[in-house]
Amino acid sequence: MMVRDLASLAARRGSLMLLSLLLNGAFLQVCTAQAQQVSGVGPISRYQGHGLRLEIQALAGDQIRAFMLGRGFSSADADWVVANGCIFRSQIGNQAQSAAAPTVHIALNDWEVHPVKPSQDKAKPKPLWTREKWQAIWARRPVPEGAKIAFHWGLFPTRQSHAPADYNWGFLSFGLPAKSRFDLTIRWQVAGQTFTHHLKGLVCGE
């Protein structure tokens, strides 16, 4: 039985005990899996320079399902996000540790997703799926309010200014089908100057 089926079963029966046991067991399993250097998540891409510090990594479908089911989404919603959302985890912040360093301004609307077609031709750049896009998506689906709130705050903010030592963790959503390959152009501003960097060969989880 798939783990998400177990989750649904536990939720339907209102068995908090069963759910709790599953969660705790899974946590231990996760730790075990970590020690075994499991595959199933993408490689880590890191960048550090011009004030910015960034680390992103594709999440596996089951990781996304786990987060979503735990927050009250349905299995169908979770599957839809896995199939269409292309979710990465991220840690992004100000590289500087000195209070005198400038603030780093990030606007995800300035970033570009460049899907790579099988023919190696590059498609037209696409925007990220930001909080605003997801808000519109959830508005069309019967999603519990608590789940929407968690998803909203789980996504990396669309716009944020990071003072020295500030950082955020959050999901980035590139709005591509599972297993898609793409390049990513990131942009940020420091002291009025815009910087650009390209991350190549990213792959959505499945």
Residue corresponding to tokens 């269409």: 84
| Identity of the residue, 129 or 156, whose beta carbon is nearer to another protein in the bound complex | 156
Contact between 187 and 166 under an 8 Å Cβ cutoff? The reply is no
Which of 108, 104, 91 lies closest to 159, judged by CA?
108
Give the shortest CB-47-to-another protein separation in angstroms. Answer: 4
Partners of 53 in the β-ladder: 48, 93
Nearer to another protein, 71 or 133 (CB): 71
Nearer to another protein, 36 or 120 (CB): 36
C-beta of 22 vs 125, nearer to another protein: 22
User: What is d(CA 137, CA 125) in angstroms, rounded to the nearest whole number?
Assistant: 21
Task: Give the number of other Cβ atoms within 10 Å of residue 89's Cβ.
Answer: 21
Residue 16 Cβ vs another protein, minimum distance, rounded to whole Å: 8
Q: Is the Cβ–Cβ distance between 112 and 127 less than 8 Å?
A: yes
Instruction: In angstroms, give the least distance from the CB of 203 to another protein.
Output: 10
- Of 152, 157, 120, the C-alpha closest to 138 is 152
In the complex, the smallest distance separating the C-beta of residue 102 from another protein, rounded to whole angstroms, is 12
Nearer to another protein, 127 or 157 (CB): 157
CB of 109 to another protein, least distance (A): 14
- If the CB atoms of residues 126 and 183 are measured against another protein, the closer one turns out to be 183
Residue 56 to residue 7: CA distance in whole angstroms: 28
Cα 184 from Cα 200, distance rounded (Å): 6
Query: 24: helix, coil or strand?
Result: helix
CB of 171 to another protein, least distance (A): 9
Q: How far apart are CA 19 and CA 142, in angstroms?
A: 23
